[in-house]
Amino acid sequence: MRLHDLKPRPGAKHRRKRLGQGESSGLGKTSGRGGKGQTARSGSSIRIGFEGGQMPLIRRIPKRGFNNTRHATVYLPVNLESLNQFEDGARVDEAALCSLGLANGRSAGIKILGTGDLSRKLTVVAHAFSASARAKIEAKGGTCEIVASPKTESAKA
Protein backbone atom coordinates (compact mmCIF):
# COMPACT_ATOMS: atom_id res chain seq x y z
CA MET A 1 0.00 0.00 0.00
CA ARG A 2 1.24 3.47 -0.91
CA LEU A 3 0.18 6.97 0.15
CA HIS A 4 -1.76 7.49 -3.07
CA ASP A 5 -3.82 4.35 -2.32
CA LEU A 6 -5.20 5.74 0.97
CA LYS A 7 -8.87 6.75 0.92
CA PRO A 8 -11.28 7.75 3.68
CA ARG A 9 -13.75 5.08 4.80
CA PRO A 10 -17.05 4.98 2.92
CA GLY A 11 -19.52 7.40 4.48
CA ALA A 12 -16.81 9.40 6.27
CA LYS A 13 -16.93 12.30 3.80
CA HIS A 14 -20.12 14.21 3.08
CA ARG A 15 -20.95 16.50 0.21
CA ARG A 16 -21.19 20.17 1.19
CA LYS A 17 -24.76 21.50 1.09
CA ARG A 18 -24.81 23.91 -1.88
CA LEU A 19 -27.31 26.65 -1.18
CA GLY A 20 -28.87 29.03 -3.71
CA GLN A 21 -28.36 26.82 -6.78
CA GLY A 22 -31.77 27.39 -8.40
CA GLU A 23 -35.38 26.57 -7.57
CA SER A 24 -35.28 22.90 -8.54
CA SER A 25 -32.35 22.13 -6.22
CA GLY A 26 -34.64 22.31 -3.20
CA LEU A 27 -32.44 24.93 -1.54
CA GLY A 28 -32.75 27.80 -4.00
CA LYS A 29 -34.27 31.25 -3.66
CA THR A 30 -34.17 31.77 0.15
CA SER A 31 -31.46 29.11 0.62
CA GLY A 32 -33.32 27.30 3.39
CA ARG A 33 -33.74 30.43 5.53
CA GLY A 34 -37.47 30.92 5.01
CA GLY A 35 -38.83 34.39 4.28
CA LYS A 36 -37.56 37.85 5.12
CA GLY A 37 -36.75 39.25 8.52
CA GLN A 38 -34.27 38.86 11.33
CA THR A 39 -33.72 35.12 10.95
CA ALA A 40 -33.00 35.43 7.24
CA ARG A 41 -29.99 37.69 7.85
CA SER A 42 -26.45 36.44 8.24
CA GLY A 43 -25.03 36.55 11.74
CA SER A 44 -28.49 36.65 13.25
CA SER A 45 -29.28 34.81 16.44
CA ILE A 46 -32.21 35.30 18.79
CA ARG A 47 -31.85 34.07 22.35
CA ILE A 48 -34.09 31.28 23.61
CA GLY A 49 -37.42 32.55 24.88
CA PHE A 50 -37.23 35.89 23.03
CA GLU A 51 -40.70 37.00 21.92
CA GLY A 52 -39.93 40.05 19.82
CA GLY A 53 -39.99 42.55 22.66
CA GLN A 54 -43.19 41.19 24.23
CA MET A 55 -42.76 40.19 27.87
CA PRO A 56 -41.53 36.57 27.66
CA LEU A 57 -43.63 33.74 29.08
CA ILE A 58 -41.00 32.79 31.65
CA ARG A 59 -41.20 36.33 33.09
CA ARG A 60 -45.01 36.59 32.86
CA ILE A 61 -45.68 33.52 35.01
CA PRO A 62 -45.58 34.15 38.78
CA LYS A 63 -42.88 32.33 40.67
CA ARG A 64 -44.19 31.28 44.05
CA GLY A 65 -43.60 28.57 46.57
CA PHE A 66 -40.71 26.52 47.81
CA ASN A 67 -38.26 24.89 45.43
CA ASN A 68 -36.24 22.12 47.03
CA THR A 69 -33.60 21.97 44.27
CA ARG A 70 -32.09 25.24 45.54
CA HIS A 71 -31.14 23.47 48.76
CA ALA A 72 -30.20 20.05 47.37
CA THR A 73 -26.77 18.56 48.06
CA VAL A 74 -25.02 17.87 44.77
CA TYR A 75 -22.20 15.32 44.83
CA LEU A 76 -19.65 14.56 42.13
CA PRO A 77 -20.16 10.90 41.20
CA VAL A 78 -17.11 8.61 40.99
CA ASN A 79 -17.61 5.02 39.85
CA LEU A 80 -15.91 2.22 41.78
CA GLU A 81 -14.30 0.83 38.61
CA SER A 82 -12.28 4.03 38.10
CA LEU A 83 -10.61 3.53 41.50
CA ASN A 84 -8.64 0.60 40.02
CA GLN A 85 -6.12 3.19 38.78
CA PHE A 86 -4.70 3.49 42.31
CA GLU A 87 -2.09 1.13 43.78
CA ASP A 88 -3.06 -1.62 46.22
CA GLY A 89 -3.37 -0.26 49.76
CA ALA A 90 -3.47 3.38 48.68
CA ARG A 91 -5.46 6.10 50.46
CA VAL A 92 -7.93 7.60 47.98
CA ASP A 93 -9.17 11.04 49.00
CA GLU A 94 -10.52 14.14 47.25
CA ALA A 95 -7.04 15.45 46.33
CA ALA A 96 -6.02 12.10 44.82
CA LEU A 97 -9.23 11.90 42.76
CA CYS A 98 -8.82 15.48 41.50
CA SER A 99 -5.19 14.88 40.50
CA LEU A 100 -6.29 12.00 38.22
CA GLY A 101 -9.20 14.05 36.84
CA LEU A 102 -11.87 11.73 38.27
CA ALA A 103 -13.65 14.44 40.28
CA ASN A 104 -13.55 17.85 38.65
CA GLY A 105 -15.92 20.75 39.18
CA ARG A 106 -17.71 22.48 42.02
CA SER A 107 -19.91 20.45 44.31
CA ALA A 108 -20.73 19.73 47.95
CA GLY A 109 -18.46 16.69 47.87
CA ILE A 110 -17.70 13.33 46.25
CA LYS A 111 -19.94 10.28 46.24
CA ILE A 112 -18.54 6.84 45.42
CA LEU A 113 -20.97 4.78 43.35
CA GLY A 114 -20.93 0.98 43.03
CA THR A 115 -20.72 0.74 39.23
CA GLY A 116 -18.10 -1.81 38.15
CA ASP A 117 -15.82 -4.06 40.19
CA LEU A 118 -12.95 -3.15 42.47
CA SER A 119 -9.78 -5.25 42.19
CA ARG A 120 -7.68 -3.61 44.94
CA LYS A 121 -7.73 -3.06 48.69
CA LEU A 122 -8.13 0.68 49.20
CA THR A 123 -8.84 3.17 51.94
CA VAL A 124 -11.43 5.45 50.36
CA VAL A 125 -12.20 8.84 51.90
CA ALA A 126 -15.31 10.57 50.49
CA HIS A 127 -18.36 12.57 51.50
CA ALA A 128 -20.86 9.80 50.67
CA PHE A 129 -20.97 6.16 49.54
CA SER A 130 -23.69 4.13 47.90
CA ALA A 131 -24.57 0.91 49.74
CA SER A 132 -23.24 -1.29 46.93
CA ALA A 133 -19.95 0.67 46.76
CA ARG A 134 -19.43 0.35 50.51
CA ALA A 135 -20.11 -3.42 50.35
CA LYS A 136 -17.68 -3.96 47.45
CA ILE A 137 -14.88 -1.92 49.07
CA GLU A 138 -15.21 -3.74 52.39
CA ALA A 139 -15.43 -7.13 50.61
CA LYS A 140 -11.93 -6.50 49.21
CA GLY A 141 -10.64 -5.67 52.71
CA GLY A 142 -10.66 -1.91 52.21
CA THR A 143 -12.21 0.75 54.41
CA CYS A 144 -14.67 3.60 53.82
CA GLU A 145 -14.17 6.88 55.67
CA ILE A 146 -16.81 9.61 55.52
CA VAL A 147 -15.73 13.25 55.51
CA ALA A 148 -18.28 15.84 56.69
CA SER A 149 -19.10 18.21 53.83
CA PRO A 150 -18.59 21.94 54.44
CA LYS A 151 -22.32 22.51 53.84
CA THR A 152 -23.38 20.29 56.77
CA GLU A 153 -20.69 21.74 59.06
CA SER A 154 -21.95 25.29 58.47
CA ALA A 155 -25.55 24.16 59.05
CA LYS A 156 -24.63 22.65 62.44
CA ALA A 157 -22.80 25.84 63.51
CA 154 vs CA 81, 139, 150, 157: distances in Å: 32, 34, 6, 5
Q: Which fold has domain 76-150?
A: Ribosomal Protein L15; Chain: K; domain 2 (3.100.10)
Q: In this predicted model, what pLDDT tens digit does every residue of 48-88 receive, in sequence order?
A: 999 999 999 999 999 888 988 888 899 999 999 999 999 99
Tell me the average pLDDT of the chain. 91
pTM, full prediction:
0.58
- 75-79 and 109-113 strand pairing: parallel
pLDDT band at 41 (very low <50, low <70, confident <90, very high): very high
Check pLDDT > 80 for residue 29: yes
Quick count: other Cβ atoms within 10 Å of Cβ 124?
A: 26
Residue-range domain boundaries for the chain? 76-150
